Structure 1
Amino acid sequence: MYTLGESLVFYSSLIFSLAVSLAISVPLTGALVRLRANYNPKALQLDPEGNAHVHTGPIVTSFFGMLRRVYRIEGWAGLYKGLMPTALATVVMTIFAIAALDSRGLASHGRVDTIDTGILGAFLSSAVGMFIALPAAILTYRSIVTPYKLPFFGLMYSLRVLLTPTERRRPWILYLTPGLLATEFLRILYTMVVLRSLRILLLRNFTPFKFGIYLGIEILSVAFTCPLEVMSTKLAIQRNHATTEYNSVEQEVEDDGIEAHEYAEYSNEEEDVIGLRHEKDPYLGFLDCFKRIVDEEGWQTLYRAWWVTMLGAIVSATAAAAQFQGFS
């Protein structure tokens, strides 16, 4: 049993660490999402009516360049777009972790042990978690890329800006966003089945040589996982519509009647941070998204901020090695 004082110290430390984590991670995540979502075709495009026009989004090629651009155009408020959905999702997942894993009791023994459910169990658990978290991820990405000012505590107003009337009437249509579920399941399948199998095979009997092999595999896997992350970002911000004249992701016929103010109205800049694909010309699925990104923006677009994915792979491999050493 814990005393009242010990509980207060634990929860105070937890709240402080979460606040510091959000203060650091939200601007960095925002820059990453914007960089990968930016639509910048390399050639002449056709509008939905078949007329040729030049659609050129901002040419930003680096992560830190995007970070500086966000601050220049939208200021500190722009850097912290997406804070509320990120904070809510973090709090919910933290409460779940404490309840499910009894983190305080485990911490008293010096470490927090993860649940070993096997490869299939890990995949199913991750798939269910992804399915539950997907709407939150969609709202977070859209709140980051929207040019409109969203109040921190104006939930209903923000939902009207971020979601189409169709999505508000039928929230489950978010799961039908063309290509999004397929992209996420592919990513989970690779990380939780392929990489997890190799991790167990190579790191169960830990040696520096085996760790080096596994680390190399994780790094090379970036060639596969980074394009999936870029595609997921582009697909998540693609809003779903339901008009009879077009397909299910095209523009609503009726105007939603929202009077929203853009960040650019409050600065000397007259441009948005990023360019977005026209909603009447959506990606129609996983393969269509991949092909059109390569054809319109170039294959390099699929590897935007690849080094962020690689850093995550290195951290994952190092943590796995430490975990297996701890169990040995």
Structure 2
Amino acid sequence: MIDAQATRMFAEAAEAADVVERQAAANAVTVAELAASLRRSPPRGIATCARGSSDHAATYAKYLFETRAQVLTTSIAPSIASVYGAAPVGEGMLALGISQSGKSPDIVATLQAARDAGARTLALVNVAGSPLAALADTVLPLHAGAETSVAATKSYIAALAAIAQLTAAWTGDEALARALAALPDALRAAWTADWTPLVDTLAGAQGMYVIGRGVGFGIAQEAALKFKETCGLHAEAFSAAEVKHGPMALVGKGFPLLVLRQADETAEGVDALVREVVARGGTVLLAGDPIDGAIHLPVAAAHPAVQPILAIQSFYRAANALAVCRGFDPDRPPHLAKVTETV
């Protein structure tokens, strides 16, 4: 059996705290200049373009930008530009492309179309010399360093941190800025959090839901992808508000849910859902404050926009261990490559 602590996924995810610390320092001037520009000339809307883990970071961005900056944010399907040749983004808007490699042809085509239509362009990339970066008016490098495991981990956390850093600077959110200053140490603590109950509970599972809401929904999407990608476990992500619209029909005795909770306005509704599922006999793994009948996974108290970042860091270590437990190599998922060049 593979040693779970010898995988590239384990090693790269463990670097996240150092990546975030390095990124914050390296991007500070660029973020401050971009934030000042956005205050002087607020965009009439923000359009994101990404796939996979990067698109899950875009979901996080949507909730932060809409709740903190109060700017409508939507996701553009990359095929709109690359296949259909359309450009739904125009002058006065901000187009945000997120890509670890910065060379996925459809993401590049979308940012090019947005730029040609007069939109301001921003790229979050790990490869600063990439084609996507070359198209952007502003580039925020992720500074994650080489990431060779197929499963993105530290680059995803770096994207979340960059989005939060921009939001704090743009809106003058001092509480979020303080939380981000403490994020590297908090990530180091999150890496050591005991999430072994997740491994024990899901070792033989065949299907499950991952539940989040608000700023935590993009993290739920990411966790569901990693379950499929690294563990061979079919997982679907749902908002706590949407799971009752049909998917709840599958929830019964023994059906597992991973619920990601942050201490904000969504907490009461998430807690109510957890209690309902426990009453139905479902198995709930709860990342957040404990609830009777649910299996507790610890997440440190923190700013609600930061708590999901801490949760995914703890999750990555547990997912890596679960993959090995289920007989998979998390670094080499079947039928997948590190860079997916979709046209």
Structure 2 length-normalised TM: 0.25
Indicate the structure with greater helix content: 1
Larger Rg: 1
Indicate the structure with greater strand content: 2
